[in-house]
Chain A
């Protein structure tokens, strides 16, 4: 099985196709298999690389909590690229992986051709921050004490995850079958080290305002925790464009693979043809009808 080493931790990856590279970064409740529909589509024209985060077997599951953080998760993306000899790539991430993708754009802008961030922002809303942290702590305990199956039962009912079950029961069954194969320890440590400790997206506004990497933010219209942060990034970052997918929850790429592949294909084509442009400053005129404000 192919692995790369990132600061002594072995990360499992898969590759498909040839051409310009795309690196896929999965979310908390998925693993690289969540990108199957994208690997099959984009490998026709791209070199697709997907890897399992630390804590997700066959990648190593370090036992120490200090081995998990949003900084380390971002470095892991860079290290996977380095080991595979990839200088620059389109980076595509979902949720936790979207957060790492955005951080990658902030910290490694020269190595990102573009960023696609799906469903980023959980835990950012200040009004719900305390509740978010309480829930994470409770989930951390649940993983440790009762294991993956018990955690799956809870996560499946989350308001931004029921959409998959409603619209694609076959996809949902596969998704949760994969989930319960994961490591309870890895999930508990990820929950504690990354989800509960990362800075909120709102606190990164000034850095996003300066970031120049072409960015596509993708959010489901029923993913309540990610809608506000998505709008926020669109407004502070001139390099960002926003898609909201209708009647869709957290995992846009899993729930609506055709739609996601289509809008991503459009975005990547724009960037690669050199025709992508940041937001026109005239569109930020606060007047409602272009009278000088």
Chain B
């Protein structure tokens, strides 16, 4: 099995296709398998790489929570790329992986030709911050005490997951089965080290306002914790464009693979053809009709 070394931690990855590289970064409740519809679609024209984060077997599961953080998760992307000799790539991440992708754009701008960020924002809303931290703590304890299959029973039918259950029961079934196989220790450590400690998106305002990497933010219209953060990024970052997908929850790429692939393909084409442009400053006026006396 192929592994990339990231500071002594072995990260499992898979590759498909040839061409300009795309690196896929998965979310908390999924592993690289969740990118299957993207790997099959984009490998026709791109070199696709998906890897499992630390804590997600077959990747190593470090026992110490100090081995897990937002910064480390971001470095892991860079180290996978280095291992494969990739200097620059399109980076695509979902949720937790969306956060890592956004940080990658901020910290490794030269290694990102573009970034695609799906469903990022959990824990950012100041009004819900305390609850998010409580929820995260409780979930970490559940993984530790009950084991993964029991721990995820409430999580998998969370408010932004029921959409998948309603619209695509087969995909939902697969999601639950895969999720149940995750490492309880790895999941608990990820919750404590990455999710609970990462900075909110709002605190990244300064960096985002200067970031020049072409950015595509996507959110489901029922993913309540990601809607305002998405609009926030769109408004502060001239390099960002925002798509909201109707009747959709958290993992847009899993719930609506066709829509996601189409939107992403269009975005890559624009960037690859050199025709992508940042937001026109004339579109940021305060007046609603441009009327000046």
Nearest CB on B from A95, distance (A):
11
Contact with A along B116-135 (1 / 0, CB 8 A): 00000011000010011001
Q: Which residues of B contact A243 (CB under 8 A)?
A: 221, 244-246
- Of the candidate stretches B9-17, B54-62, B78-86, B283-291, the one touching chain A is B283-291
Among residues of A, the one whose C-beta sits closest to the C-beta of B163 is A283
Q: Which residues of A contact B138 (CB under 8 A)?
A: 289, 291
Knowing A246-B216, A285-B159, A291-B135, the reply to whether A138 touches B241 (Cβ < 8 A) is no
Can you offer 7 A-B residue contacts whose CB atoms are under 8 A? A154-B289, A158-B288, A158-B289, A159-B288, A246-B243, A280-B162, A289-B155
Cα–Cα distance between A285 and B162 once the two chains are bound (Å): 11
Nearest CB on B from A249, distance (A):
7
- Of the candidate stretches A19-27, A72-80, A105-113, A160-168, the one touching chain B is A160-168
The 7 A-B residue pairs whose C-beta atoms are closest, nearest first, are: A244-B244, A290-B158, A241-B246, A159-B285, A246-B241, A242-B221, A221-B242
Nearest CB on A from B76, distance (A):
24
Contact with B along A66-108 (1 / 0, CB 8 A): 0000000000000000000000000000000000000000000
CB under 8 Å from chain B, chain A span 128-154:
128, 131-132, 135, 138-139, 142, 154
Q: Which residues of B contact A286 (CB under 8 A)?
A: 128, 131, 159
Q: Is the interface of A mostly helix, strand, loop or mixed?
A: mixed
How many residues belonging to A are interface residues under a CB distance threshold of 8 Å? 54
Residues of B within 8 A of A (CB): 122-123, 128, 131-132, 135-136, 138-139, 154-155, 157-163, 166, 216, 221-222, 224-225, 227-228, 231, 234-235, 241-247, 249, 263, 267, 277, 279-280, 282-291, 293
User: Chain A CB within 10 Å — which of B159, B160, B243, B245 has the most?
Assistant: B159
Q: Which residues of B contact A139 (CB under 8 A)?
A: 289, 291
Instruction: Say whether A40 faces chain B, with CB atoms less than 8 Å apart.
Output: no
Cα–Cα distance between A244 and B128 once the two chains are bound (Å): 24
**Do residues A244 and B242 form an inter-chain contact, with CB atoms below 8 A?**
yes
Among residues of B, the one whose C-beta sits closest to the C-beta of A270 is B247
Instruction: Say whether A234 faces chain B, with CB atoms less than 8 Å apart.
Output: yes
CB under 8 Å from chain B, chain A span 191-234:
216, 219, 221-222, 224-225, 227, 231, 234
Knowing A288-B225, A290-B155, the reply to whether A263 touches B288 (Cβ < 8 A) is no
Among residues of B, the one whose C-beta sits closest to the C-beta of A159 is B285
Instruction: Say whether A254 faces chain B, with CB atoms less than 8 Å apart.
Output: no
13 additional A-B residue pairs with CB within 8 Å, beyond A158-B285, A221-B231, A245-B243: A135-B289, A154-B290, A156-B290, A159-B286, A160-B288, A162-B283, A219-B244, A222-B279, A225-B288, A234-B221, A241-B247, A246-B267, A287-B159
Nearest CB on B from A246, distance (A):
4
**Do residues A277 and B132 form an inter-chain contact, with CB atoms below 8 A?**
no
Cα–Cα distance between A195 and B196 once the two chains are bound (Å): 46
Q: Which residues of B contact A44 (CB under 8 A)?
A: none
Residues of A within 8 A of B (CB): 122-123, 128, 131-132, 135, 138-139, 142, 154-163, 166, 216, 219, 221-222, 224-225, 227, 231, 234-235, 241-247, 249, 263, 267, 277, 279-280, 282-291, 293
Among residues of A, the one whose C-beta sits closest to the C-beta of B270 is A247
Nearest CB on B from A163, distance (A):
6
**Do residues B246 and A216 form an inter-chain contact, with CB atoms below 8 A?**
yes
Nearest CB on B from A237, distance (A):
12
**Do residues B243 and A283 form an inter-chain contact, with CB atoms below 8 A?**
no
**B249, B279, B288: the one within 8 Å of A128 (CB):** B288
**Do residues A138 and B291 form an inter-chain contact, with CB atoms below 8 A?**
yes
Knowing A216-B246, A225-B288, A241-B246, the reply to whether A288 touches B163 (Cβ < 8 A) is no
User: Chain A CB within 10 Å — which of B157, B158, B221 has the most?
Assistant: B221
Cα–Cα distance between A131 and B132 once the two chains are bound (Å): 37
Cα–Cα distance between A61 and B161 once the two chains are bound (Å): 51
Among residues of A, the one whose C-beta sits closest to the C-beta of B221 is A242
Nearest CB on B from A143, distance (A):
11
Nearest CB on B from A247, distance (A):
4
Among residues of A, the one whose C-beta sits closest to the C-beta of B125 is A288
Among residues of B, the one whose C-beta sits closest to the C-beta of A216 is B246
